[in-house]
Amino acid sequence: MQTGIIIRGVGGNYYVDTEDKIYKCRARGKFRKKNIKPLIGDEVEIELTNKSDVEGFIINIHSRKNSFIRPTVANIDQLIIVTTLYRPTLSFLLLDKMIVNSELNKLKPIICFNKCDLIEKEDRLKLKKVYENTGYNMIFTSTITGEGIEELKDAMCDKLSLFTGPSGVGKSSLTNYLDERFELKTGEISEKLNRGKNTTRHAEIYKLDFGGRVIDTPGFSLLDLHETSFEGLLSSFVEIKEYSYNCRFNDCKHYKEPDCSVKAAVEAGNISKIRYDNYIKLYEEIKSRKKY
Ligand code: GDP
Ligand code: ZN
């Protein structure tokens, strides 16, 4: 028996990466009977065979730390939100939505500001200031100067990461830069994606040469606030949540209520005004939907 990670699944065949090699496996019938479908990212036990067209059978799936639908994958360790200040111009609202999305999925995001060859030192300080008390790891990268790449590798080492972010920010360039063997693959994949929505996509996990693993498709479609509760929103703005214990009202939404410690913290400069305003925008969005 061997243990490995499913890195690819096509037509009922699962490719399981073990210490020594990748085995083409099928799942034992018991999983189908129980309606359990193995996912890429699953840590599995396999039993080797020489009796059929496959090399092994999946006999056990270890319990999942998490699982997602788009892409269909289990056991993601972290989301790397890639964004830029320019080309394309940064939307803090979009970035904060992606952060909320990550938090709601119980993943701590890493914020990667790419194309930092295009920005001034003051810009960095400003960006750092907005997110400084969120505790998120912020990495400034450039695929032109190579800045921040080692830091990004350190953050990705021994973890399964999923890149997300608007198109054009440099997600493919970054993955290629992280490991040049990746180049061909991402090229192929973006080509496939461009062919249209009907192309079946099978997400795959790649092991990068420095020891991190990455999913070859950008993750997570944008947050739909329909199902987000006020509590969910608040706990996704970690620093706002932190300041929310001293409000006069227990159920303070930190909106128009008097004696609100969150608003006081914004006034005092302890919470970024940009973050607070985005919180309010998303709060209003949730509120207006709840009316119907
Ligand atoms: P994706 O859509 O997020 O995968 O973005 P791409 O990797 O396709 O990159 C979009 C464009 O940005 C390409 O023209 C890249 O050459 C360019 N680009 C990527 N990284 C950087 C960077 O660090 N600095 C600058 N100036 N341009 C970059
Ligand atoms: Zn309040």
Structure tokens given for 170: 């440099």
pLDDT of residue 224: 63
Which of 63, 96, 111 terminates a domain? The answer is 63
DSSP 230: H
Contact criterion met (CB below 8 Å) for 87 and 119: no
pLDDT of residue 190: 53
Same domain, 58 and 75: no
| φ/ψ bin of 119: left (φ > 0), alpha (ψ from -120 to 50), beta (otherwise) | beta
Same domain, 26 and 157: no
**Ligand 1 binding pocket includes 152 (Cβ within 6 Å):** no
Contact criterion met (CB below 8 Å) for 155 and 112: no
Same domain, 43 and 88: no
The 10s digit of each residue's pLDDT in 148-186 is 999 999 999 999 999 999 889 999 899 889 988 776 555
* Residue 93 belongs to domain with CATH number: 3.40.50.300
**Ligand 1 binding pocket includes 97 (Cβ within 6 Å):** no
Give kind and range of the element (H or E) at residue 30. helix 29-33
**Ligand 1 binding pocket includes 173 (Cβ within 6 Å):** yes
Determine the 3-state secondary structure of 134 from DSSP. Answer: helix
Same domain, 115 and 203: yes
Same domain, 126 and 183: yes
The 10s digit of each residue's pLDDT in 81-128 is 999 999 999 999 999 999 998 998 899 999 999 999 999 999 999 999
Phi, psi of 25 (to 5 degrees): -130, 160
- Give me the number of domains the chain comprises: 3
* Amino acid identity, position 31: F
Dist CA 95 CA 99 (whole Å): 6
Q: What is the mean pLDDT of residues 38-67?
A: 94
Same domain, 72 and 177: yes
Dist CA 129 CA 141 (whole Å): 17
Q: Where are the beta strands (DSSP E) in 11-104?
A: 13-18, 22-27, 43-48, 56-61, 67-68, 73-74, 78-84
Residue 81 CA: which ligand is closest? 1
Give kind and range of the element (H or E) at residue 177. helix 171-178
Dist CA 8 CA 206 (whole Å): 9
DSSP 40: B
pLDDT of 189 over the 80 cut: no
**Ligand 1 binding pocket includes 176 (Cβ within 6 Å):** no
Same domain, 130 and 255: no
Which of 27, 48, 63 terminates a domain? The answer is 63
Q: Which residues contact 81 (CB under 8 A, 6 or more apart)?
A: 95, 98, 99, 102, 109, 110, 111, 112, 164, 165
Same domain, 55 and 75: no
Same domain, 99 and 25: no
Long-range contacts of 259-264 (CB under 8 A, 24+ apart): none
* Residue 18 belongs to domain with CATH number: 2.40.50.140
Determine the 3-state secondary structure of 246 from DSSP. Answer: helix
Domain of 39 in residue numbering reads as 2-63
Asked if the structure places residue 221 within a domain, the reply is no
Query: Please, what is the Cα angle at 69 between 64 and 73, to 5 degrees?
Result: 45
Dist CA 22 CA 54 (whole Å): 12
What is the CA(88)–ligand 1 centre distance, in A? 10
Neighbours of ion ligand 2 (CB under 5 A): 247, 252, 254, 260, 262
Dist CA 143 CA 117 (whole Å): 9
The 10s digit of each residue's pLDDT in 204-228 is 999 999 999 999 877 666 556 667 8
pLDDT of residue 198: 42
Reported as a pLDDT band with limits 50, 70 and 90, residue 191 is low
